[in-house]
Structure 1
Amino acid sequence: MSGDTYQADAAIIDGKSDEKTNAAQNSAGRPRTMTSTAEIDSTIIHPGSVRINVKGAFIVDTPEQPGTPANLSGSGGNSYHETKDIRLPNHTAVVSHIAVDIGGSLAKLVYFSREAHSTDPGGRLNFQSFETDRIDDCIELMRHLQDKQLALNGSEPSELCVMATGGGAYKYYDRIRQRLGVDVLREDEMECLIIGLDFFITEIPREVFTYSETDPMHFASPSANIYPYMLVNIGSGVSILKVSGPRTYERVGGTSLGGGTLWGILSLLTPAESFDEMLDMAAHGDNAKVDMLVGDIYGTDYGKIGLKSTTIASSFGKVFRMKREAEHEAEDMGGLSNGDDQNQQQQQKSAQQKSSTATCPQAQQHRPTSSRASELAMSRFSSADISRSLLYAISNNIGQIAYLQSQVHGLSRIYFGGSFIRGHPQTMNTLSYAIKFWSKGQKQAYFLRHEGYLGAVGAFLKHQPRNWGRRGSFDKDTGLEARVSGHPEENAT
């Protein structure tokens, strides 16, 4: 089962569905797959009783206008609208809530909308992200969505509810409530991550995939037998979770060297002004001009221990050596600058430094060539090369930590999520290679097309009634319903 033909044979049933309806389902011997007109008409418009039908759900691969224009907030280039909306062709009932996951670097928003200018039934889940520093732009978009609730989803603006998770759900709680004048329900971050990931794994075709240079995107079919697994969530920092079943998880490790590290250091070293600019630069860089490789040391592969000549031996390992070479070059040039006036100024500055040193013996002497040496050194490293080198350094570190944790806990399936990845080929290839190399092919790295929205989707799902979307999960306490409600499942399937 794959592609647009995949069907999650289920419809959302109100948590307060009457016993006659349930009896009719049981007597039929199979789950009902359509939402009846009577059910739609009787919908109580609030998040706790919204009905969503995910039968036939699929990711929109072709560029289309989202159900709600991405620039409603007027935030310009400060927000990023994902084109990978999830189409829900069979959903016809009201959705009166939106969900936001506010992290240290990015705020991720998920909302449902009808198809704009279409007579077809159904709608789609829309995905949009903002830099957290511009949280007011995100709140402004939520306000526009609130104003358009009647046109988008059939509910009144006052009926909108905001599901929030992440640290910002607490930090910006009052600001959201005051601006929108609606309820804000805060949900546990780790719990939402797991619920969102479970949903993507089990329900959405062409969502989960493996990555390698020879097979860049090999999709895994949705599966119900998913436990146990490890989630490596890479946001500003990194959290590693062992997931044994619905709501059964523990944080087993992590590292502070994550997306925030890359963003912060590259902000100092390059002119890039956004995370996407940094990733774009990294895509065009050559880390071999910055990193010391095995081939730089041995002149060839180190086959005895399985290291190729292109393997990174030391991240940024060439920088000091090349800086020293630049200093020697500046000395050989006599520290001269173009033009007699500039040369005279340099000599005067040098004399002043010597005089200052003589007056104050503890003063640090600055070599007259230091400025020129720095200029020569920096000219040898492009922003693109630096970006790629640092991306590899952080990704390799995360990959090895993830492998070690998977070894300790005996897990072979490792899912990488979080906004750090952003579908970037070099990042995915590095993480995947690290897992494959250290495990000798015994463990597999998995990625998701909506990797940055696990928490937001989990929060969106968290306020749903029973049985949203698990195939054949209309029986009590099974499938996604059990994961959302927290009830255990037999055999964790």
Structure 2
Amino acid sequence: MKVGIDAGGSLIKIAYQEKNRMHYKKFPITEMEKAISWLKIAAPNAKAALTGGKAHIIQQNFYTEEVIVPEFQATCVGAKLFLQEEGKKSEDPFLLVNIGTGTSWHIVRGEEFERILGSGMGGGTFTGLGSLLTNVEDFSELTKLATEGDRGKVDLLVRDIYESAQPPIDGNLTAANFAKGKKVKHTDADQIAAISNMIVETIVLLTLQAVTIHQVRQVVFIGSTLIGNQSLRKGLEFYMNRIGLTAEFLEKGEYCGAVGAYFSV
């Protein structure tokens, strides 16, 4: 038996096959020992393929004889496999955008891949800045707040600048993130909605630059930050549509690294 383990900045994702079916499980990175203990019970004799930024810690402490698959390789291999499994069209080349603790952009051409860009904007920004502004630390609670909030009470919008005049562009677009400060009464939910939107805008702008420079048409989004995060996903869909690009979202995209590692060895 074999397992794929992706140990990232926030989560440990595990993929393993049993009775010809892939199974998936995840743990917070802070529960590494709990995750490995569970895995040793579920698959006591399994060989492990490791990947991710903290893979070396798992290798040193639990799987000293196992190999580490380069993270970017594992992610891109897993994405291609999930595109096929989920019946989504795969263009060649395509742009893979991995929204985890931070965000990475990869060009995938056939069996080749290249990481072309990275940003500190991602799930770590969402939870970290969210907890600083609201004292809410739970990811699922923050995603709930984001859907309930009105970012227009925090962000300065184009329509706020033009007031009664007709703006030359969509008045709901952002003129300046968080520019209203304390001038307008707002709630915790409004602040989280503004954080989510700021992350979305940054990712979309960088994505537009990437597809323009590298002349690709298909954009595939993956990553644990998208899971259960309707505000982030809807924001990405909205802005991607505005710039004329179609976004593909892999439903099991958070496990691309684990699955890619599994099938790489």
**TM-score if structure 1 supplies the norm length?**
0.51
Query: How far apart, in 1, do the equivalents of 2:165 and 2:117 lie?
Result: 33
The reply on whether 1:187 has 2:73 as its aligned counterpart is: no
Structure 1 residues 188 and 302: CA distance shift in structure 2, 3 A:
farther
Query: How far apart, in 2, do the equivalents of 1:432 and 1:278 lie?
Result: 20
Contact 1:112 1:124 in 2 (8 A): yes
Give 1:320 deviation, angstroms. Answer: 4.2
Contact 1:294 1:301 in 2 (8 A): no
Give 1:300 deviation, angstroms. Answer: 5.6
1:107 matched to which residue of 2? 12
User: Is the partner of 1:446 in helix, strand or coil?
Assistant: strand
The structure having more radius of gyration, on CA atoms, is 1
**TM-score if structure 2 supplies the norm length?**
0.92
Bigger proportion of residues as strand? 2
One of 141, 162, 174 as aligned partner of 1:312: 174
Query: How far apart, in 1, do the equivalents of 2:127 and 2:208 lie?
Result: 24
For the aligned residue pairs, the C-alpha RMSD in angstroms reads 1.9
Contact 1:399 1:432 in 2 (8 A): no
The reply on whether 1:199 has 2:96 as its aligned counterpart is: no
1:298 matched to which residue of 2? 162
Unaligned runs of 5+ in 1: 1-95, 115-122, 147-156, 208-220, 323-379, 464-493
Query: How far apart, in 2, do the equivalents of 1:169 and 1:404 lie?
Result: 31
Contact 2:127 2:137 in 1 (8 A): no
Query: How far apart, in 2, do the equivalents of 1:239 and 1:132 lie?
Result: 19
Structure 1 residues 296 and 448: CA distance shift in structure 2, 3 A:
same
Query: How far apart, in 2, do the equivalents of 1:131 and 1:454 lie?
Result: 17
Query: How far apart, in 2, do the equivalents of 1:142 and 1:99 lie?
Result: 11
Structure 1 residues 113 and 176: CA distance shift in structure 2, 3 A:
same
Contact 1:266 1:278 in 2 (8 A): yes
1:402 matched to which residue of 2? 207
One of 397, 416, 440 as aligned partner of 2:221: 416
Structural mapping, 1:10-159, within 5 Å: 96-114=1-19, 123-146=20-43, 157-158=44-45
Greater RCO, 1 or 2 (C-alpha within 8 Å, sep 6+):
2
One of 157, 163, 167 as aligned partner of 2:53: 167
Contact 1:232 1:416 in 2 (8 A): yes
Give 1:112 deviation, angstroms. Answer: 2.4
User: Is the partner of 2:62 in helix, strand or coil?
Assistant: helix
Identity of aligned residues (%): 29
Task: Describe the superposition over 1:461-483 as per-residue Cα deviations: whole angstroms up to 9, x where unpaired.
Answer: 223xxxxxxxxxxxxxxxxxxxx
Contact 2:143 2:231 in 1 (8 A): no
Query: How far apart, in 2, do the equivalents of 1:436 and 1:313 lie?
Result: 19
Query: How far apart, in 2, do the equivalents of 1:111 and 1:284 lie?
Result: 37
Structural mapping, 1:244-323, within 5 Å: 244-246=109-111, 248-299=112-163, 304=168, 306-307=169-170, 309-322=171-184
2:252 matched to which residue of 1? 450
Task: Describe the superposition over 1:331-351 as per-residue Cα deviations: whole angstroms up to 9, x where unpaired.
Answer: xxxxxxxxxxxxxxxxxxxxx
